[in-house]
Structure 1
Amino acid sequence: MYADADAMAATDLVLQCVTMSQISGEQVAGLRAAVEAGTGLTGWHGGIVDSYRASSDYLQLVGGQFATHPGKEPCERQGGQEDNYLPHTVNLTALGREHPVTAGIEDFDLVTEQYWVLHDDLVDVLATTTHPTRPWHPWHRPITSPAVWTRRWGAGRIVVTTPGHSLDVLEHPSVRTVIERGMLWASRTASAS
């Protein structure tokens, strides 16, 4: 669909939900052109920041890329996905406290995958999460990663929300509100007003 210029021109919002896949040069060019022309782009978790790892054009468009999600202490791991579920706080930034996507939301706690994200300086970070140092971690100081960000790309708007691994996380009132508001804010109809 991304390579279909007519379909993309008629699309107000792309809700990206693809993890660890491939995208052709023609497809990513179509997506970028649509966003530059005003189509909104949003998604959560691996569906947007772990979509097309091999496409630098896609990564530049989104503004960030999943790197890892540190797990529990090795002696506590059972071999399932829960090994990566850690209690952590999503902290609103000063910008996040005023932005339409996150205004009125307080810092909130989750127990789920805590994404460590590589990002560029064109993202407007609305919320962050900090990875502490633990005796079993090789890094020597806490790492703060964006958890929610927006980005303007041409006439288009992009919203990325990194929490969202499972249904219970998506049902968390703050996560749900951020995703719902993010879709509205990024939509072409919203950016035209």
Structure 2
Amino acid sequence: MTRTALVVRGGWDGHHPVEATELFLPFLRGSGFEVAVEDDPQVYADAERMARVDLIVQSVTMSTASPEAIRGLRDAVAAGAGLAGWHGGIADSFRASSDYLQLVGGQFATHPSKHPDEVRGDQSDNYLDYTVEITGLGRTHEITAGIDDFALHTEQYWVLHDSLIDVLATTTHPVQPYHPWHRPIVSPAVWTRDWGRGRVFVATPGHSPEVLQDANVRTIVERGMLWAAR
């Protein structure tokens, strides 16, 4: 039986929501999904439609969603739909909604920048060399099994999170003399979450289409969508 994937995209253009999601549409269709694309999260409020969705792929950075939309998204996941996404499209969405933050389990707080002497006033100020480290759970989980620790040069997300997430990979923010913290900070970089009968998958790498085309990142995102889907 054909499954249904709903791709919801929009919000801040700096994360290229259209171009980024287009990268994965052929994969979803090749994996047996009938794919629909929407540019407004208000679709979540359509209970009849959401009841037929097996996977929600969200790429909506910041922006807002109505209480009815958030309630519809939560209800759909609790009923068995999967929710998957990357970077700010899922971990920095709908900041004003505590109900959304509780559903996802982690929220972008910041991405530390380069040394002040290297800051130029554009997005590259926050591009750092860092490592994504696979956890013990991640070594055996179907999303990340067989993937070794890997390096990226992009935004390194500092994430506020709770203990209900299952962390498959982390990244460590080091102590720098030009930052105010005094010990290294470990943030989840890839995690999953069980929510009712549904599943949530989040990967924090994915600032640009180029990052999403990194072999490790793309494999994790593709596996994560399949894992989350009903």
Q: TM-score range by the shorter chain?
A: over 0.9
Which of 71, 74, 89 is the aligned partner of 2:113?
71
Q: Deviations over 1:84-132 (max 9, x none)?
A: 0000000000000000110000000000000000000000000000000
TM-score, structure 1 length as denominator? 0.97
1:120 aligned residue: 162
2:67 aligned residue: 25
1:159 aligned residue: 201
2:220 aligned residue: 178
Q: Percent identity?
A: 69
Equivalent residue letter for 2:102: Q
Aligned with 2:210: secondary structure? helix
Q: Which has the higher contact order (CA 8 A, sep 6+)?
A: 1
Q: Deviations over 1:42-75 (max 9, x none)?
A: 0000000101111000000000100000010000
Cα deviation, residue 135, structure 1: 0.6
CA–CA distance in 1 between the matches of 2:141 and 2:48?
A: 32
Equivalent residue letter for 1:54: A
Q: Tell me if 1:45 matches 2:119.
A: no
Cα deviation, residue 168, structure 1: 1.5
CA–CA distance in 2 between the matches of 1:53 and 1:4?
A: 22
Q: Tell me if 1:56 matches 2:121.
A: no
Equivalent residue letter for 1:87: D
Q: Tell me if 1:80 matches 2:122.
A: yes
Q: Deviations over 1:115-167 (max 9, x none)?
A: 00000000000000000000100000000000000000000000000000011
Q: Tell me if 1:149 matches 2:194.
A: no
Which of 135, 139, 143 is the aligned partner of 1:93?
135
Which of 123, 141, 144 is the aligned partner of 1:102?
144
Cα deviation, residue 24, structure 1: 1.2
Equivalent residue letter for 2:68: E
1:191 aligned residue: none
* RMSD value, Cα: 0.5
Aligned with 2:109: secondary structure? strand
Cα deviation, residue 23, structure 1: 1.2
Cα deviation, residue 169, structure 1: 0.7
CA–CA distance in 2 between the matches of 1:79 and 1:53?
A: 24
Cα deviation, residue 25, structure 1: 1.0
Aligned with 1:2: secondary structure? helix
CA–CA distance in 1 between the matches of 2:106 and 2:80?
A: 20
2:13 aligned residue: none
TM-score, structure 2 length as denominator? 0.81
